[in-house]
């Protein structure tokens, strides 16, 4: 499949001889050298298609190592604090349950337990 794109270099069509300079729109198909999928580059769409070129939608962001990753919405500080408060309360409840089953643990171990659960529950 080929696409219409901005040329990165000066060039000349091997089929019709038309030339272009860097930045001109061209039709480009990488191809694999076979008759079924030839390599083609031309500024003339009719020449491109007549010589076996097919056009698909070109997405330059993906071509240049872009990504389709969708970032999570940015939260304001009030939203983050509310989520942390909920996660912290949950972690304290889990600590009480844990201590009721295994007995009291030291204050430093309790702090690590609560911090670890809070960080696990909420990804800030």
Query: Mind listing the pLDDT tens digit for each residue in 58-74?
Result: 565 555 555 666 677 77
Confidence of residue 98 (pLDDT cuts 50, 70, 90): very high
Contact 59, 47 (CB under 8 A): no
> In the chain, what are the domain boundaries?
3-63, 77-121
Query: Mind listing the pLDDT tens digit for each residue in 3-16?
Result: 889 999 999 999 99
Indicate if the pLDDT at residue 19 is higher than 80.
yes
- Mean pLDDT over the full length of the chain: 84
Res 96: pLDDT: 94
Sorted by sequence, the CB contacts under 8 Å of residue 44 that are 6+ apart come out as 13, 16, 18, 27
Name the one residue in this structure whose structure tokens are 């091997």: 14
Indicate if the pLDDT at residue 108 is higher than 90.
yes
């Amino acid at each position: 499949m080929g696409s219409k794109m901005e040329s990165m270099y000066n060039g000349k069509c091997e089929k019709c001889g038309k030339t272009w300079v860097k930045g001109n729109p061209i039709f480009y198909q990488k191809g694999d050298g076979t008759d079924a999928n030839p390599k083609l580059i031309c500024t003339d769409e009719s020449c491109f298609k007549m010589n076996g070129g097919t056009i698909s939608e070109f997405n330059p962001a993906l071509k240049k190592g872009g990504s389709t990753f969708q970032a999570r919405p940015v939260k304001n500080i009030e939203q983050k604090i509310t989520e942390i408060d909920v996660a912290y309360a949950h972690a304290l409840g889990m600590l009480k349950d844990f201590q009721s089953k295994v007995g009291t643990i030291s204050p430093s171990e309790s702090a690590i337990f609560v911090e670890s659960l809070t960080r696990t529950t909420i990804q800030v």
